[in-house]
Structure 1
């Protein structure tokens, strides 16, 4: 890919827009489904819980969540108007269980302590103020709630040509250091590896981390 193409790809990974954004979102859903499934598994979803997903993309994985337990309520939040509309269109059958919220990317537009579980996959690279954002997540999470944060490790992500454009990358120790500055009380870290097709089309071995964080 040329430099300009990589920049456009990076922009649409951060905030998908228009037809190109929809195309990138489909690719993201396919490329990230392994990470998303492992994150959902780590949540240990139970009946009657209210979940929040930060950066839902096209939410093509919603059925996988509702299959985990009964009477689940899902809220998805995203900064992309394109993804907001695409997720609603793709998930009309779940309109009584799922809602999608468009927001500005920094303050979570919810009251305190309303979600049982929160998760996010591949969004941390775009958080402008990670400690403040984690404090927002803590605020809207119920006491004893679980937050799952999944991200590609710095050493792996640095090899991808588009991550030099407005991505902030983290090693496990760097992420641990950031979380230590928040009120979260404990954390379990697990690493995964998988073979996937990259956003630029090559076959790659992805190394990523799932952090299960407790309030």
Structure 2
């Protein structure tokens, strides 16, 4: 696939200080990635780099690629991270296409991004394309019956039911589709810890 003109790639080869996993959605999702030595991993919609240290300590010599939109936020966070010999690549994206060859990754994951995808089926079809055979896709999201009524999600968010997301996976070609209902703990604006439910849908490339 041809490279997009607005693509911006950042690379890093320093040492990351590992941190214990947090009780948040992205860390819960990573705990369900069965990474092995020299796995090639893609994250769609990277919004921060705080979880990379935990990801990279899950197995030896992981190669990580992450696509992002908010360049300023990523550059600020990225400059403080170090990689300890792992290959890290961050790529700026503005559309649903992934500028990678077919069958490039062992795992693909994304958290809290499906609400903003103009066409979820296209994103998942692209994820399927770049995964290797038997590669796995994990997608975490807050379902419609919980997130749809929140006052700050009324304008730019599109929420989905579990069956809708499962259908996207199936139409994209994924098999062995699984659904896990999990929770995360976050701190609200008053400083109180709140437990929130979320869904993780997983699929495997045939």
Whether the TM-score (by the shorter chain) exceeds 0.5 is: yes
- Name the structure 2 match of 1:62: 52
CA 1:39/1:108 → structure 2, altered by over 3 Å: closer, same or farther?
Answer: same
SS of aligned partner of 1:150: strand
Q: Does 1:118 align with 2:108?
A: yes
Match of 1:187 among 150, 165, 177: 177
- Name the structure 2 match of 1:50: 40
- Name the structure 1 match of 2:126: 136
SS of aligned partner of 1:90: coil
- Name the structure 2 match of 1:160: 150
Unmatched 5+ residue regions in structure 2? 1-21
SS of aligned partner of 1:181: helix
Contact kept in structure 1, 2:166 and 2:201, CA below 8 Å:
no
- Name the structure 1 match of 2:10: none
Of 76-85 and 196-205, more deviation after overlay is shown by 196-205
Tell me by how many angstroms 1:84 deviates. Answer: 3.3
Contact kept in structure 2, 1:191 and 1:207, CA below 8 Å:
yes
Supply the distance in 2 between the matched residues of 1:125 and 1:53 (Cα, whole angstroms): 16
Tell me by how many angstroms 1:177 deviates. Answer: 2.2
Matched ranges for 1:1-215 at <5 A: 34-94=24-84, 97-198=87-188, 204-215=194-205
Tell me by how many angstroms 1:199 deviates. Answer: 7.0
Between Structure 1 and Structure 2, how many residues are aligned? 184
- Name the structure 2 match of 1:17: none
SS of aligned partner of 1:211: strand
Q: Which contiguous aligned blocks of 4+ residues in structure 1 show a shift greater than 6 angstroms?
A: 199-202
CA 1:157/1:95 → structure 2, altered by over 3 Å: closer, same or farther?
Answer: farther
Supply the distance in 1 between the matched residues of 2:84 and 2:70 (Cα, whole angstroms): 20
SS of aligned partner of 1:118: strand
Unmatched 5+ residue regions in structure 1? 1-31
Contact kept in structure 2, 1:79 and 1:105, CA below 8 Å:
no
Supply the distance in 1 between the matched residues of 2:103 and 2:77 (Cα, whole angstroms): 25
- Structure with the bigger percentage of helix: 1
